[in-house]
Homo-oligomer: A and B are copies of this chain.
Amino acid sequence: MRSLRLAMAQINCTVGDLEGNFKKIVSYLRRAREQGADIVVFPELAVTGYPPEDLLLKPSFIDDNLSVLNEIISESRGIAAVVGFVDKLEDIYNAAAFISDGKLIDVYHKTYLPNYGVFDEYRYFQAGKGYPVYDLYGIKIGVNICEDIWMPNGPLRSQALSGAEVIININASPYYKGKWKFRRHMLTARASDNLAIIAYNNMVGGQDELVFDGHGMIMNEQGKLIAQGPQFREALVVVDLDMESVFHARLIDPRSRVERYMHEDKRQRFVSVPAVPQPAREHMMPPEQTEPLEAMEEVFQALVLGTRDYVRKNGFSKVVVSLSGGIDSSIVAVVAVEAVGKENVQGTFFPFRYTSKESSDDAYRLAANLGIPITEIPIAPAYESMEAMLKDAFAGRERDVTEENLQARIRGNLLMALSNKFGWLVLTTGNKSEMSTGYATLYGDMAGGFAVIKDVPKTMVFELCRHVNRRYGKEVIPARVITKAPSAELRPGQKDSDSLPPYETLDPILKAYIEEDRDLDEMAQLGFDPEAVKRVIRLVDISEYKRRQSPPGIKITPRALGRDRRFPITNRYRSF
């Protein structure tokens, strides 16, 4: 019986870490060979990490990446492999090397270069123009990269019509909540439309604003999911592909046979892979399939992986979180502990005259539940000296938001002083609702290295907290933190709802405006209160300057506030 043992290496590469990526690739290649795989597949740009951004404009970076590819090739005795790297001809290409038994057989160049959202591939790459089909032990294999497979008439279609029975698609596909469903629907359609097995392999790991969620999938020629990789974890998924079944499906489908007969494509290229003696081996049982994570657990794990990788890949060991007793700092502390371990998380508490007893109790209770220490420093002495210093300059002026910002900025200074002295990375605690509306103090609560929940709307922060307590089977986050009315505690009796619409109103408006680019008329038609919409649009538009100076945070929605959304600061457009 014709079969192919395919291994998908769903690995966590680091941008620029050519040596580390090399070691990881070779170690997975060896494991795949030990398991008798005919071919092992690595993610898009596995050699360089993704996205390498302007590193790609450095000739030495391109050359070093080629040297690493050559070392990988020489390690590939007795197995075939598909490895993502940057190819260099008269220009550079986002490429997949087809390697077999210590030799480079061929190179595929990505055809469709995404240049929207977080992607800038036209900035760097030339588009490929060839659709190779490889013949490995008489099995026809098409290779393509990421965006390519989203095009129904792209290389996949041509490769399948030229006889490819297995399509290998390698990815560095950034996570957002629920995105896997779109991938799965698309792959189901592509596999069944083309009567081809599809092996969709994805990178895993965090890189600045992005998290790659792994979750590779293998669909059979009926579009049925036959194997998948875990979400947010490295894995080697090994499967025996039943090629007879593909043959049979194509044989009994008269339309597909006519279409293949009629098909001609100048971009086609057939490449025969020299035969390697296949090892004797037993048929493998298909790997166990796990259900995809529940939505809040999925987001939680994305935040954990994004935070862990930002911390570790940037060479930090410890992080510090400013606890306020509120819900945002609470969830960030929980994510931090899960990401780097409680022994690597330091809490701080910086009370002032507006800090309630409840906030203090809640912050300490959370820290106790998590097992992390708190450094408490009351900010009154600094506040009072600053107030005195500014007295003359402020003579005759009313108190206003200045004095509130001052409190936040003194806290920011203390946090940065601790960070500088002890080498701790500061995790900031602002959520997407705040970042969108500018309800945050620049250089105050926005001061820090990484903004864990920057793309999590406040209403989802509540959901996440409830999920966390269910997840750990105990009240990690004190119940009151979740039930009390949110407040920045920068003046007596302050509530977030003094400055913003209630979050249940605000968050859907923000989603419509930021993620869906809807205007006032459309939102009014959708039933939103036009006055609330106007207020929110105005807040979002005028706070672009703050977002521009905010630390990076993890994308978990279809449009995050970072490289995903690029607005001018100087902008007089008002959509109403």
How would residues 405 to 437 of chain A score, 1 for a CB under 8 Å from any chain B CB and 0 otherwise?
Answer: 110011011101110110000000000000000
- Complex contact B552–A569 (CB within 8 A): yes
A550 partner residues in chain B, CB cutoff 8 A? 549
How would residues 305 to 328 of chain A score, 1 for a CB under 8 Å from any chain B CB and 0 otherwise?
Answer: 000011001100000000000000
A499 within 8 A of B: no
CB distance from A543 to the nearest CB of B (A): 12
CB distance from A317 to the nearest CB of B (A): 15
CB distance from A454 to the nearest CB of B (A): 13
- Complex contact B416–A413 (CB within 8 A): no
A314 partner residues in chain B, CB cutoff 8 A? 545, 569-570
A519 partner residues in chain B, CB cutoff 8 A? 58-60
- Complex contact A390–B417 (CB within 8 A): yes
- Complex contact B416–A60 (CB within 8 A): no
A401 within 8 A of B: yes
Which residue of the partner chain, among B115, B208, B382, contacts A115 with CB atoms under 8 Å?
A: B115
Interface residues of A in 7-39 (CB under 8 A from B): 14-18, 20
Complex Cα gap A56–B314 (Å): 35
- Complex contact B421–A568 (CB within 8 A): no
- Complex contact A402–B377 (CB within 8 A): no
Knowing A58-B517, A548-B552, the reply to whether A207 touches B568 (Cβ < 8 A) is yes
Knowing A443-B443, A566-B54, the reply to whether A61 touches B573 (Cβ < 8 A) is yes
A280 partner residues in chain B, CB cutoff 8 A? none
A549 partner residues in chain B, CB cutoff 8 A? 549-551
Interface residue stretch chosen among A93-101, A116-124, A337-345: A116-124
Interface residues of A in 260-310 (CB under 8 A from B): 309-310
Q: Which of A206, A309, A409 has its CB near the most chain B CB atoms (within 10 A)?
A: A409
A370 within 8 A of B: no
Q: Which of A400, A521, A572 has its CB near the most chain B CB atoms (within 10 A)?
A: A572
Complex Cα gap A386–B381 (Å): 8
A136 within 8 A of B: no
Interface residues of A in 421-459 (CB under 8 A from B): 421, 442-443, 447, 449
A354 partner residues in chain B, CB cutoff 8 A? none
A565 partner residues in chain B, CB cutoff 8 A? 54
Complex Cα gap A409–B402 (Å): 16
- Complex contact B60–A413 (CB within 8 A): no
- Complex contact B417–A568 (CB within 8 A): no
CB distance from A526 to the nearest CB of B (A): 15
Interface residues of A in 200-217 (CB under 8 A from B): 206-208
- Complex contact A15–B60 (CB within 8 A): no
Smallest CB gap from A63: residue in B: B519
- Complex contact A393–B420 (CB within 8 A): no
Interface residues of A in 118-134 (CB under 8 A from B): 120, 122-123
Knowing A382-B385, A390-B377, the reply to whether A413 touches B443 (Cβ < 8 A) is yes
Interface residues of A in 550-576 (CB under 8 A from B): 550-552, 565-575
- Complex contact B417–A402 (CB within 8 A): yes
A375 partner residues in chain B, CB cutoff 8 A? 393
7 residue pairs of the A-B complex, CB under 8 angstroms, read: A16-B572, A53-B566, A386-B414, A390-B418, A412-B443, A443-B447, A549-B550
Q: Which residues does A use to contact B, with CB under 8 Å? A: 14-18, 20, 51-55, 57-61, 64, 115-116, 120, 122-123, 206-208, 309-310, 313-314, 375, 377-379, 381-382, 384-386, 388-390, 393-394, 397, 400-402, 405-406, 409-410, 412-414, 416-418, 420-421, 442-443, 447, 449, 517, 519, 521, 545, 548-552, 565-575
- Apart from A53-B567, A381-B385, A397-B421: 7 A-B pairs, beta carbons within 8 A: A57-B517, A58-B519, A61-B575, A115-B123, A123-B566, A382-B386, A386-B417
